[in-house]
Structures are given as structure tokens and as C-alpha cells.
Structure 1
Amino acid sequence: MAIISAVVVILGWFCLGSGCQLKANFVRFIASVIMNAMTLVDDPNLEKPGPVITLDITGMHCAACVSSVEDALLSSPDVIHARVSLPSQHAVVQLRHEDVNVEGMLNSVASRGYGARQSAGKVEAIRNLDAQYKAEALRWFVRWVSGICLFIITMVMHVNEQFTGEVTWSLCAVIVVVVGFPFFQRAIRLASGLQCSMDTLISIGGAAALAGGAIAYAQQGDVAMALDGALMVSIIAFGNWLESISRRASVSDMVSLGELVPETAVLVRDDSEQVISSVVLKRDDQVVLVPGDRVPCDASVISGESSVDQKWYTGESRPSEVGPGDRILAGASVLDGNLLVRIIETQEESSMS
């Protein structure tokens, strides 16, 4: 490398002349860049980065959760870089080398109170995310409806003097603890890592309202502060329900597209056919498609002719005619004729993803 750089410098001096100082300096700079670049390329001790993996994360609700998960991943010496996404609930991790204990990283995330697993694919991740948001919306709906109903009953009975102050305060405590349990749970989890979030403030507010209500009742016979705390937690639970609905709606279109990708495919290998998961298909795998099948990954037709419906991508209402050499996209529907296709993009890389 040094010889090549020296040759460049010498040629530059002879061609440009010593009087052209600016051009000579430029030649020396170019030679230095070439030498350093070639040193990096040829250095046998230079460690090349390992693969990039995707993890599905559950239990994240705010920016503090994202920071906590990133810290857990980066605490592993096998991780070069980690990027965590709150909307999609996944993490993209750049590993240092091939042989990495992924289970150790998952346990590190789990120790922070979050769920983590290696993603089986983008389509599967979207389906899991939709199911997660659906379950989350249902839980928040049950919580806020229960909280509001119990609050109204407690308020009416207290105003009509049907409940004593002790009973009213106890029912308010039930509302704050039961409806606000997710807030307290996440606040404690973050506190263990010396972090805080909006959940921390909600938990402090609810606990302070109960404590203040107990003190006010003991001194003045007034439980209004405890009622305020119960109402506050119920309203925030209602807001979380609306947020869950909104987040699920944001992935509804992606879920609809994901449903176009079949879960299995008929793989041709060694003159035999076997049904496998479409997630594990690799480039150059050969797959048989018959009328009614959907294409599992972007593929190229090897043999056969058929009409295929690709309107999800092209927007055209009329089907396309395909034959040997033509490309068909993941999610396309085979309408007539049998096809033998070669996978050219995995499910992670296909147009559907």
C-alpha cells in the first residue's frame, strides 16, 4: 500500500512540478487516503460486523420504555448498535459477530420487565402487534368502564350519605389500585432502573390523593381528595383505551396486507414436494403454485403460464398474464394454471414487507 501511495506522489510531483504547491498537496492527500483505505481493507485484525437481527418487544408504552430496552440491549458486549421502535414494538440489533448468545440478550430485556423474542418475520410481527393492540384495548376498556361505574356508585352513595367516609375512601382506593395497576407496575419497573416516565407521575398522583384523602378525613371528615384521585385514574385509563384503539388502527392496513401472504408453501427439493412455512423460504428455493394459491415471496417464474392478481401493488383491476422469466410479487393470487417459481427475495426482503 505504501508503494502505491509513493508512486502516486512521485508521478504527481513530476507531472505537476514543484512550483504548483496546491496541486502537490492535493496529490499527497490522495495518496494518504489510498494508503489508509487499503490498510483498512487488508487488515486481517479488522473485525467485520455480524448479522442484523430483529426482536419483537412487548410492554413498551413511552419513550422511557424505549430507552430502558435500548440500555438492556447495549449492555451486552455482543451488540454494536440497537434501535428500538415504539410504534412497531420491535428492535433492530447489529451484532458484533455470528456466534452470539441471543438468549442472553432476551433475558437482559426481560430483566427490565419487558417481553422479547426473536422475530419470525415482518409479516408475523405485524400480526402479533395487531393481536397485542387488540388485547391491550380490551383490557383498558374493562378497566376504565369498571372504574367509572364504581366511581359513580361511590359518589352517589357518598353524597346521599349511604356510605361512611371509611367505605368511600376504601372504594376509592380499590379504583386507584385496580384501574391504575398498570401505571404502578410500570413505575416500579422503571424505578428499579433509576428511570421515570408519565406512569411515575400518575402513580405518585394516585397515591398522594389516597394519602391526602385519608389525612383530610381523619382531620376534617372530608374524602373529596380520594374521590379526585379515583376519578383521575379512571379518566387516564379512558385516554389509554383511546390510544390503544388509535395504535391498532395504525397497523390495520398492514395487517390486511399481511393476510395476503400465505403461512405455508409447497417447496420442490430433490424431485419431491414438501409443505413448509413460508417464513423460512430462501433465495433460489423452488415453489409450486396452483390456482387459488398466493405467492409467499417475490419470485420469478421458471415454467408454466397463468393469470395473477397483483392489484394490491399495481392498482390494476385486470389480472396480469405471466410466463417463464416474469416476476410475480408476494401476496399475488394465482388465478389459473400451475406455476413453478424461484424465490428471488425472502419474506423479509419482499415487496410486501
Structure 2
Amino acid sequence: MAHAVKTRFRIEGMDCASCAAKIDKAARRATGIHNVSVSVAAGTMVVEHEAEADLVELTRRVASLGYGIVPGAKSRDAKPVAAHDHEHVHHHDGDHECCSGHDHEHHSADTVRPATAGLHGHEHRAGEGPWWASAKARLTLACGLALAAAFVLAKLYPAAASSAYLAAMAVGLVPIARRAIMAAANGMPFTIETLMTVAAVGAVVIDAGEEAAAVVFLFLVGELLEGVAAGRARASIKALASLVPKTAFLEGEGKLTEVPAESLALGVTILVRPGDRVPADGTILSGETFIDESPVTGESVPKEKCPGDLVYAGTINQDAAIRVRVTAVADDNTISRIIKLVEEAQESKAPTERFIDSFSKYYTPGVMAVALLVAVIPPLAFAGTWNEWIYKGLAILLIGCPCALVISTPAAIAASLSAGARRGMLMKGGAVLETLGKVTKVAFDKTGTLTAGRPDVTDIVGAGHSSADVLRLAADLEVGSSHPLAMAILEKAGRIGIEPTPAVGAGAIGGEGVVGNVDGTSLFLGSPQAAEKRVPLPVELRSRIAALNGEGKTVSVLLANDRVAGLIAMRDEPREDARAGIEALRQLGIGAVMLTGDNRLTAEAIAADLGLEPRAELMPQDKQRIVGELRSAGEIVAKVGDGINDAPALAAADVGIAMGGGTDVALETADAAVLHGRVADVAGMVALSRATMVNIWQNITIALGLKAVFLVTTVIGLTGLWPAILADTGATVLVTANAMRLLAWRG
């Protein structure tokens, strides 16, 4: 039974899937490495290795490819661990994890320890800082200055032109060639750097040194632009982290203390002043205010918040001071979990991306083979000029650089996942994102998904008393009760300004209702059946009760001194945007069905209100069976539920979508999550998926189309080395810019 340790590294200069593939392959060749996970989106590499593995060898291999590597960089998904606290992974049945005997603190499966000491004298983060201060920017600037100097020198001393351009080319080519050689030494002979090196050296051999120097410079410019774009995509979601304030006002011992927000523990009470950002997820203890949630949810209208309501880290308190009980530590608040899960999602490749990756493995050697044939066949078979055809072969090498093709899919997916997460739509990977666009049927749970998950007073009918009196007396009876129906009555009373007075002798009668006395009036509030035992109900009242029941509403009858005072009807009402959300799906050509364990009358009433097909009185296994039947009928099914009792159906669907406010279950059990409870966001996910797939195919068309055009123009002699590398650089820039448009997606 072998133990393995996970170590996280931060990688600098990794901009695309091709970079990640080279790093992955090089890392795996180091001794004692079990598994490697490289994330372009996060700029990290997590390595699972034997405890005694030589991490110096691993970092040397990665660094030899031209990438910066910093061991032990901290990340949001791993809190700092003491020097002897390791995460152990047992490679046997089920791949269980446990802690060593001396590690008394339980760590999550994602915890990683800092790399062994001695690799670097101190820890810092790679890749942070402005793009123009990066190693790539410095190399590009040096090569550009050398090329400019060579151009001036060639004009002043023509005899020195050849040597000047050769020196300028060497400034940029030596690092590129070194990366090509080290990649070959790590088992990757066919890389972009290899194409570049062969083309540049070949150009010098045929006395095209000026073009060779320009080509190297343009290649470096293209790489730099690619890095800038990758950094922007990476920063777009991480920018959420900056929304959380650095400090918080902690209550304790009768005073307020300003403390670091990341130090807040579960259950402590904090004060959030008007105008301040909320420093942690929590529940309001006291105070009423409006909270601007637009930084997290994208909603432009502030929400009214009262005691008992949830608030999220990073949102803005607008009107009044509130006291908040912290419900999540810094590493586990809504924003931190969104960022962590998006980074993990960006590592999960879509089918299209996997195909492009596989295709590119054969594409690069294929390009080299075609370039070789173009260079040698015309001179050998058709008496062509060697210099001319070698020049064309070299141009084809440059045209064939797969940068734009390789980045076409992951750039779009990373931007799309980030854009969705910023609006509370979390999709766990490219495969999920791609499948969402193909969905033809959405199966919704009812309670807590299409509805708010709690009853609301819908009708108050007076019978001898005014409706206001009926509500006031009912609220007096329910003061102090935590029953959902009682809470609905008290909330309704509060909304219209009724302040209930606790009834005298209030108490519950099991299975029937509650009794009490208010101002000498004996009261009873309970089911129609229990009320009928005490006093006969008029025929017209029975008809009204039957009609309300037919609408899926629960009816309570209020008796005052053994006379009917009125009725109160309640129902778990649809979410405000439920009807619009179903209609948005219909406009996308997607059908909807409601699967619920609730009674048939309630289900049919809600479904009729929303305009979708109901399936009622279902057990969890029934929901799973129906999802399976829909898929067997040829539908691509998305199941939307709360992630708990709907787990079997969520797993059975093509895509499982959890609806909730960022709860652990909602985030972990499904393929995607609607974090802010908006039904319309399900249609938003589908629309974003379809926009992403259109963007991907646009990118592939740009990448391959430009190459095809310049391939033809090069063979017939219209274009040469400069236009060839401009075509590749231009295609990379166009593809990246097109993908970045998705960052601005608003639905």
C-alpha cells in the first residue's frame, strides 16, 4: 500500500493547452510521480507523488521548457498546513484518503502541502504583476530592439547586414531553440518551438536572414499576446476575490474590534456599516437594510434584507448597519467556492477540445512532412529551384504552427465558464457546457426549484369578520410558532403592518390546529375537517374551500367563539421569475416537465400557472425512472432540483443542475448549479452554451481558414515567410479576441 503526497506548483508562462501538455509530459518523466494535473485557467500544476520523490528534478524539467515554476504557492482550495501535515492517498481499493498518525487536523481531499523546503529560499507567486514585466515581454522587447538595431546597421553598413540580422535573430531564437531541444529530450519532438527553430535556421541557410529575424520577433509578439489574453481570462473570475474586504468589525466583550476578514471563525458576530462590503457569508441577526448583490449575482436592483436573511461576502450594505452571524469561513464562502469550482471546471475538457488536442498531436508532424515534401519534390522531380522551394517549405512550416487551432476551444470555454460564474451559473467543465447547448427537455423539481420552498398566504376570506381581523387574530395565535404555515401567517401580517399580540393560553392540538384566547375571544385555527367537528361549515364556505384546494392551496379555518370568522389559504408559490424562465426555455425550443412528490391537485395548479406538464406524487426512484424514459425517447435531458432528494434523477440526466443559494450540496452533487435560485438562469446556461459553441466553430474556421488561404498563396509564390508568421500570429490574436468576447456575455 503506497502513500502519495499532493504538491501544488504555480506555473508562469503557461498560456494554452499546448503548454499544459508539454508541462504534463515533462513532469510525468520525473522519478516518483504518480499523477499530474495541469490547469491553464488557474496557472497551476498539482502533482501526486511519493513522499521521497525528488521535486528538484521535477522543477528542473519544467523550468527547462522555459516556464517559471514556484513550489508551495498557496491557493484557495488548500489552507496552509504545518510542515509535518501531509495529505496521504492510499492506492488500493477505492483510493481512500486518511491522515497520518501525527496529523490531528482533518483536511479536505483537495488539501495540498507546500513543496519540500530548499527548492527556493522563499515563497512567492509566479505570474503576478503586469504583463509588460513578464519574462516573455522582456525577451520580445530585447528581440525587437535587436531587430531595429540590425535594420539601422544594415542601412549604414550594408556589408554587415547579414551578420547583424543573424545576431538579432539569435536573441530571440536561442531561448526558443533551447525550449525545442528540452521538449524533444522530454519526449516531445514535434512542438511549435521545433517548427519555429527549423524554419528560422533554414531561412538563414538560404540567405534569408532578415526575414528569419523578423519571423522570430513576430513569433515572440504572438506568444506575448497569447499570454496577455490567457492572463485576462484567468483574472476575470479571480477578480471576484477582490470583492471581499480585507477587514471586518468583530463584536466581542462589549466592543468592536477591526480584524482581518480571513480570520473570522464560524458563529462569530460582525457589524457591517452602511456603504461597507459584507466581509463573510452570514445570517442577519438584527437590522434591516437593502443589499446590493450585483457584484456577485449581476442583479441591478438591491434586495431588502431583514433578520434571518442570508447575506453573501462581497455584496454591499446600502442603508443601515446590520449585525451578522458568520456562517462560512473565508476559504469556504460563496465567492471562494465559486472561484475554486470554476478553476476545477476549466480543467475538464469538452469533447470538442479533446478532439482538437488529439488532432493537433498528428497535425504538427503532418505539417512538417508536408513542408519537407514541398521543399524537396519539385527540385528533385520537376527541376525546381532548391532555394525557391526550400523557402516555400519553410513558409509552410510557419503557416502550420497550431497555436491558433489549439487555443480556439479552451479559450472560449474558459471565458464562458468565467462569464457564467460571475452571474451565478456554475458549470463544472467544458463537457457540461457543451452538453447544455444540446438539451431538448428540462425536468424541474417543484418545491424549492420552481417554487420558493415555503408557503405564502394567498387568500384571506372573511366570514363575519374583516380579512384584516382574520389575519390579525390568526397571527396572535401563531406568535412564537416555528411551523411553516404559522411562519407564513406571521410574515404576511408583518408585511401589511400588523403587530400580533400573543394569545392567552395558546397551545397546539395534535393533528388539528391551535387554540388560544384574545381579548376574551376563544379562538381556534386548524384544518377544515377539525373545524367541522366544532361547528358546521356553511355550504358556500365549503364550496370556497373546495375551490381553493383545487388550486393546490392549503386552507385553515378560523373560529371565534365557536363561529366561523374566516379562511386563510396558503400555497408554496412559484418563484417570481419561474413563468419567464419556462417561457425562455420554450423560445429556445426546449420543453419542460415538472416532477414532484407533492399531491396531484397542487402540482396541476402550479403547472397550469407556469405552463408546463406536471408529473405528481413521485418518489425519488420514480423521478429517476421518468428521466431515463425521456432519454430513451431520444431527449437530451437536464434535471433541475435541490441536489438532495433529487440526487438519483440528477445523476440519471444528461446534465444535473442544482438549484440553490450556493449550499455545499447544491455545489457538489450536480454537473451545474444555479447559485442564486433564478429559474431563468437554466435558459441562460443553455443560451451561453450555444453562444460558446458558435464561438468555438468561428475560432476553428478562422484558424484553419487563414492557414488554408496562405498555404495556397505560398505554394503559388504570392506570399513568403513574413506573411506566413503574420497569418499565424494574426489568427491567434483573432481567435483569442473572439473568445474573450464571451467574458462580456450578459444573457
Q: Shorter-chain TM-score category? A: 0.5 to 0.7
Work out the CA distance in 2 between the residues paired with 1:267 and 1:118.
31
Q: Residue 209 and residue 331 in structure 1: after superposition, are their counterparts in 2 closer, same or farther (change >3 A)?
A: same
Work out the CA distance in 1 between the residues paired with 2:269 and 2:179.
48
Amino acid in the other structure paired with 2:141 = V
- Is residue 2:311 matched to residue 1:313? no
Number of the residue aligned with 1:200? 194
8 Å CA contact retained: 1:140, 1:241? no
Q: Residue 341 and residue 150 in structure 1: after superposition, are their counterparts in 2 closer, same or farther (change >3 A)?
A: farther
Number of the residue aligned with 1:39? none
8 Å CA contact retained: 1:144, 1:238? no
Work out the CA distance in 1 between the residues paired with 2:57 and 2:325.
40
8 Å CA contact retained: 2:291, 2:305? yes
8 Å CA contact retained: 2:248, 2:260? yes
Deviations 1:258-305, CA, capped at 9 Å, x for gaps: 331234445567888462363x65655654433343234433334444
Work out the CA distance in 2 between the residues paired with 1:267 and 1:53.
35
Work out the CA distance in 1 between the residues paired with 2:270 and 2:6.
27
Amino acid in the other structure paired with 1:187 = A
Number of the residue aligned with 2:12? 58
C-alpha displacement of 1:181: 4.5
Scaled by the length of structure 1, what TM-score is found?
0.62
Correspondence 1:4-19 to 2 at 5 A: none
Deviations 1:100-132, CA, capped at 9 Å, x for gaps: 68x964773344314133343359xxx975636
Aligned partner of residue 212 in structure 2, secondary structure: helix
Work out the CA distance in 2 between the residues paired with 1:52 and 1:303.
44
Q: Residue 329 and residue 134 in structure 1: after superposition, are their counterparts in 2 closer, same or farther (change >3 A)?
A: farther
Work out the CA distance in 2 between the residues paired with 1:105 and 1:348.
30
Q: 2:62 aligns with which of 92, 96, 112?
A: 112
8 Å CA contact retained: 2:12, 2:43? yes
- Is residue 2:168 matched to residue 1:175? yes
Q: Percent identity?
A: 21
Work out the CA distance in 2 between the residues paired with 1:339 and 1:306.
11
Q: 1:295 aligns with which of 278, 301, 323?
A: 278
Aligned partner of residue 243 in structure 2, secondary structure: coil
Number of the residue aligned with 1:163? 158
Deviations 1:167-206, CA, capped at 9 Å, x for gaps: 2232112211223344234234434434342123323433
8 Å CA contact retained: 1:134, 1:248? no
8 Å CA contact retained: 1:305, 1:339? no
Deviations 1:44-81, CA, capped at 9 Å, x for gaps: x8x9x98977542223355554245335268575x654
Deviations 1:299-346, CA, capped at 9 Å, x for gaps: 333444443221123333332233433222221122331433314264
Q: 1:190 aligns with which of 177, 183, 188?
A: 183
- Is residue 2:259 matched to residue 1:275? yes
Amino acid in the other structure paired with 1:317 = S
C-alpha displacement of 1:233: 0.7
Work out the CA distance in 2 between the residues paired with 1:267 and 1:110.
46
Q: 1:84 aligns with which of 27, 38, 52?
A: 38
8 Å CA contact retained: 1:140, 1:240? no
Work out the CA distance in 1 between the residues paired with 2:144 and 2:273.
50
8 Å CA contact retained: 1:112, 1:189? no
Correspondence 1:6-155 to 2 at 5 A: 54-61=8-15, 63=17, 65-71=19-25, 72=27, 75=30, 77=32, 81-93=35-47, 105=55, 108-113=58-63, 114-122=68-76, 131=129, 133-136=131-134, 138-139=137-138, 142-143=141-142, 145-155=144-154
Q: Residue 144 and residue 331 in structure 1: after superposition, are their counterparts in 2 closer, same or farther (change >3 A)?
A: farther
Aligned partner of residue 197 in structure 2, secondary structure: helix
Q: Residue 328 and residue 86 in structure 1: after superposition, are their counterparts in 2 closer, same or farther (change >3 A)?
A: same
Number of the residue aligned with 2:83? none
Question: Which structure has the bigger radius of gyration?
Answer: 2
Work out the CA distance in 2 between the residues paired with 1:286 and 1:81.
43
Work out the CA distance in 1 between the residues paired with 2:273 and 2:28.
44
Work out the CA distance in 2 between the residues paired with 1:110 and 1:341.
48
Work out the CA distance in 2 between the residues paired with 1:64 and 1:55.
18
Between 239-248 and 63-72, report the one with greater CA deviation: 63-72
Q: Residue 112 and residue 129 in structure 1: after superposition, are their counterparts in 2 closer, same or farther (change >3 A)?
A: closer
Q: 2:210 aligns with which of 224, 227, 245?
A: 227
Work out the CA distance in 1 between the residues paired with 2:144 and 2:192.
22
Correspondence 1:210-221 to 2 at 5 A: 210=204, 212=205
Q: 2:321 aligns with which of 337, 341, 349?
A: 337
C-alpha displacement of 1:231: 1.9
Structure 1 residue runs of 5 or longer lacking an equivalent are 1-44, 214-223
Deviations 1:230-265, CA, capped at 9 Å, x for gaps: 122122122223323332342453354333123444
Number of the residue aligned with 1:18? none
C-alpha displacement of 1:148: 4.6
Amino acid in the other structure paired with 2:293 = Q
Number of the residue aligned with 1:22? none
Amino acid in the other structure paired with 2:325 = V
Aligned partner of residue 213 in structure 2, secondary structure: helix
Aligned partner of residue 166 in structure 2, secondary structure: helix
Scaled by the length of structure 2, what TM-score is found?
0.32
8 Å CA contact retained: 1:176, 1:230? yes
Amino acid in the other structure paired with 2:213 = A
Amino acid in the other structure paired with 1:198 = I
8 Å CA contact retained: 1:59, 1:115? no
Work out the CA distance in 2 between the residues paired with 1:277 and 1:202.
49
8 Å CA contact retained: 2:147, 2:169? no
8 Å CA contact retained: 2:150, 2:168? yes
Number of the residue aligned with 1:262? 245
Work out the CA distance in 2 between the residues paired with 1:173 and 1:238.
19
Count of paired positions = 281
